[in-house]
Structure 1
Amino acid sequence: MTPFSPVPVFDGHNDVLSRMYRPGQADAVGGFLEGEAGGHIDLPRAHAGGLAGGLCAVYVSSPTMRPDANGDFVAPAQPQALNDTMAMARLLFDLEARSNGAVSVCRSAADIRSSMDKGAFAAVLHIEGLEAVGNDLDALYVLHQAGLRSLGPVWSRPNIFAHGVPFRFPSSPDIGPGLTEVGKDLIRACNALNILVDLSHMNEKGFWDIAALSQAPLVASHSNAHALCPHSRNLTDRQLDAIRDTGGLVGINFGVLFLRDDGVKNPQTPVERIVDHVAYIADRTGIDHVGLGSDFDGTTVPEELVDASGLPRLIAAFEARGFDRDAIERIAHRNWLSVLERTLGH
C-alpha cells in the first residue's frame, strides 16, 4: 500500500531550545536554520518530515544529574533558572528574526494556523519546570507578555509549586505530595492568563490537585499509557478518563523508555510501539483526545525514525494499522490545534 504523502505534524513537545543552549556551539541559530548533523530537529529536517511546528520547551537542567537520597533531582536556584530561561527564549526569538519568515513564534491558535498555512515553522514558547518563577509569580506575567503560552509546573523534581514524578520503572505515578499553596496560585494564574498547564511531569497527587482546580482542558503533552508501559511518567486509565472528560489531550512520547513494557532503553524499538499507545488511548478516550508529543532532542527515539525527517514513516505505520486519513490528521495536528484554541483563545 502506498503511504500517504507527508501529513503536517504539530508536535506537543520538543527540547530543541535546550539542545541549542548547550555549550560549545558557535552559531546554534544558524545551525537550526541551515541544517546540522546533530539532534533531531532543524528547519530542513522539519520540512522533509512534515513537522509544521510544536511546543518548544525551555528546560533548565539540575545542578547535578545524580538524584539525592530520596531519588529526587535537585532543582536549579531561581536566579540561575531565570537567566537560563531568558537566554533560551531569546534563542527562539532569534530564530524567528533570522529566518526570513520561515519560523514564527505563535501566541494563539490562529497564529499557528496562519503559520502552517504559509509553510512557516509554528513555534510556541513552553517552559518545562517553572524554577524561573518565584513565589510572587511576577516573572510569570512578564514571560507571558513575552510570548509564554504553555508550561509544566515541574520537571521530574520538586520545586516550590509541586513534586515532579521521579523516573521509575516499574512504578505507579503515585509518588510524593501534590500542589503546594503557591502551586495552586500558579494554576489559577495560568487559567486567568490562558496559559496551557502541562501535566506530563506531575506525580499523581499533583495531577488530581490540578484536575480539581483548573478550569481548562487537562493536557499531558508528552506521556503514554501506563497500561502498556508501567513507567512512573505514564498515565493510568483513570487519568486518561479525566483528560477525556475535560476535553483534553495526551501527546504520545516517542521515547523508548516510555513505550516498552520491559523498561529497556533500546533504540531498536519498532515505530509500531508509538502506534500501540495511540491506539490504546484512542480506544479508551476517543480519537479526539490523542496527539503526538515526540520529546525530540530530549530522549532516545526509535532508530527507525532517526529524527524529524522520519515522521512520514510514522504516518505510514498509522496507515498500515488501519487509521484513515481523517484520524491521522486528527492525531498529527488537528487535535492539538483544537485544544490550543480552547485554552489559548483564538
Structure 2
Amino acid sequence: MADITPVFDGHNDALLRLHLSGRQDAEELFLNGMDQGHIDLPRARKGGLAGGLFAIFPPPLSNMKVNGKRPEDVTFPQLKQADALASTLAMAALLQRVERASEGRFAICRDADAIRAAMASGALAAVFHVEGTEAVGADLDLVDVLHAAGLRSLGPVWSRSNIFGHGVPFRFPASPDIGDGLTEAGKALVRKCNRLRILVDLSHLNEKGFRDVQAISDAPLVASHSNVHAICPQSRNLTDWQMRAIRETGGLAGLNFSVSFLRPDGGTNADTEFDVLLRHLDAMLEALGEDGVAFGSDFDGALVPRQIGDVTGLPKLIEAMRAHGYGRELIEKIAWRNWLRVLERTIG
C-alpha cells in the first residue's frame, strides 16, 4: 500500500450500519469483511483509509419516513432521550468491542499523537464522534462519561431539534437560515466541549446556531462533512460567510461525498462524475485555503458516486485530483494532513 495516499476521513456511519444489522458478531463482520456498506477493515486497507471520525448517530428509525415522504421533505420530530441513550451506548460499546477484538488493527485515538502512532503502525485510527446529542441531558453528565470512553468530537445536533439547538433540515434549494440558534443548554455544551477539548462539529447546525458557536468557542470552527452552497444550494451546505468564518479560525470543512450535497440539481443520482467533486474542492480551496479543506465522506450514511462506490474507491478520487492538477503536497493536505493539524489544535 506504499503507493496509495493515506486518507483520514472526517465522517462515516459504519457504527450505525453495524448496530442496525442486529448482529451479535458485528465487530467480527467489520474486522473480517462483509458484502454490505462502504467500510470494513479489509476494504479500508485496500482503499488507503488510515483513520477517521467514527460517528455514533442515534437513529430516527421510523421517523426517517414520515407519512411516506422523503427525508428532504420532512421536519423530523425530536428523539426521546431514553431512545437516544440506548442506541448511543450500544454503539459506544460496539466501538470498544471492535478495538478489543482487533488485536491492534483498530485503535480508538484520544489525541493527535495517538492518531499518528496508529497510522505509523498500520492500525485504523478511529476518533470517537457523536452526531446529535439527544442522549445527553441538560446536566451534561453523560459528556464526561463518554469523554472517559474516548469521545473527542461532537455535533450538538443532527438535522432535527433537541434541547441544545436546531438542526438544519434537508431542503433543496434552501438557505441554512432555518430556525433559532443554540439554547442556553447548547451554549453550555459548547463551553464544556472547549474545556474537555472535544471538537464541536457544525455540519448539521443551522445558521443561527453556527453563529452562536462562532461567538462562544475558542477552538477552530469545523464542518466535518459539508459542501459548497453556491454550487449545490442544499440547506446542509456551507455559505460563503460560513467558509470565511471557518478560515478565520484556522478550521476546516470536509468534502461530503453524498451526491445530493454535490450535484447542482440536488439529485440522488449515483452517476455523478468526479468533475462535480472537483468543482466543490476548487471552490473550497479558494474560500478556505489549502489548509482548510479535507474529506468528510459520509460513507455508510449517504449515496456516494458510483465511481467511488465504497472506501476502496478512494484512490480513484485521489488520481482524479492529481489529473486535475493538484500536486502531491496539496493532495496530502486534503487527504489527511489538514485533519491532523486541526485535531491537534482541538483534541490535543
The verdict on a shared fold, with TM-score over 0.5 as the criterion, is yes
Q: Which residue of 2 aligns with 1:83?
A: 86
The alignment's TM-score, normalised by the length of structure 2, stands at 0.96
Pair 1:131-2:131 in alignment: no
Q: Which residue of 1 aligns with 2:36?
A: 38
Pair 1:311-2:309 in alignment: no
What are structure 1's unaligned runs of at least 5 residues? none
* Bigger Cα displacement from structure 2, 63-72 vs 174-183: 63-72
Match for residue 54 of structure 1 among 32, 40, 52: 52
Pair 1:20-2:18 in alignment: yes
Matches of 2:229 and 2:291, distance apart in 1 = 19
C-alpha contact (below 8 Å) 1:124/1:148 kept by paired residues: yes
Matches of 1:67 and 1:24, distance apart in 2 = 23
Matches of 2:116 and 2:176, distance apart in 1 = 35
* Bigger Cα displacement from structure 2, 57-66 vs 31-40: 57-66
Matches of 2:36 and 2:74, distance apart in 1 = 31
1:6 deviation in Å? 1.3
Matches of 2:234 and 2:244, distance apart in 1 = 18
Give secondary structure in 1 for the equivalent of 2:127.
Answer: strand
C-alpha contact (below 8 Å) 2:79/2:162 kept by paired residues: no
C-alpha contact (below 8 Å) 1:162/1:177 kept by paired residues: yes
Give secondary structure in 2 for the equivalent of 1:76.
Answer: coil
Q: Give 1:119's aligned amino acid.
A: G
C-alpha contact (below 8 Å) 1:127/1:152 kept by paired residues: yes
Matches of 1:306 and 1:66, distance apart in 2 = 25
Match for residue 200 of structure 1 among 182, 200, 203: 203
| CA deviation vs aligned residue, 1:118-174 (integer Å, no higher than 9, x gap) | 010000110000001001001111111111000100000000000000000000110
1:94 deviation in Å? 0.7
Aligned length: 342
Q: Which residue of 2 aligns with 1:266?
A: 269
Matches of 1:34 and 1:193, distance apart in 2 = 34
Q: Which residue of 1 aligns with 2:170?
A: 167
Give secondary structure in 2 for the equivalent of 1:91.
Answer: helix
1:76 deviation in Å? 1.9
Q: Which residue of 2 aligns with 1:226?
A: 229
- After superposition, residues 279-294 of structure 1 pair within 5 angstroms as 279-294=282-297
Q: Give 1:309's aligned amino acid.
A: T
Question: Matched residues, percent identical?
Answer: 58
Pair 1:98-2:101 in alignment: yes
| CA deviation vs aligned residue, 1:94-135 (integer Å, no higher than 9, x gap) | 111011100000000111000000010000110000001001
Q: Give 1:14's aligned amino acid.
A: N
- After superposition, residues 210-225 of structure 1 pair within 5 angstroms as 210-225=213-228
Match for residue 342 of structure 1 among 335, 342, 345: 345
Matches of 1:46 and 1:272, distance apart in 2 = 24
1:273 deviation in Å? 1.7
Give secondary structure in 2 for the equivalent of 1:333.
Answer: helix
Q: Give 1:306's aligned amino acid.
A: G
Give secondary structure in 2 for the equivalent of 1:53.
Answer: strand
Q: Give 2:284's aligned amino acid.
A: I
Aligned CA-pair RMSD: 1.4
Match for residue 239 of structure 1 among 233, 238, 242: 242
Matches of 2:32 and 2:23, distance apart in 1 = 14
The alignment's TM-score, normalised by the length of structure 1, stands at 0.97
Q: Which residue of 2 aligns with 1:323?
A: 326
Closer, same or farther in 2 for the Cα pair 1:24/1:92, shift >3 Å?
Answer: closer
What are structure 2's unaligned runs of at least 5 residues? none
Q: Which residue of 1 aligns with 2:123?
A: 120
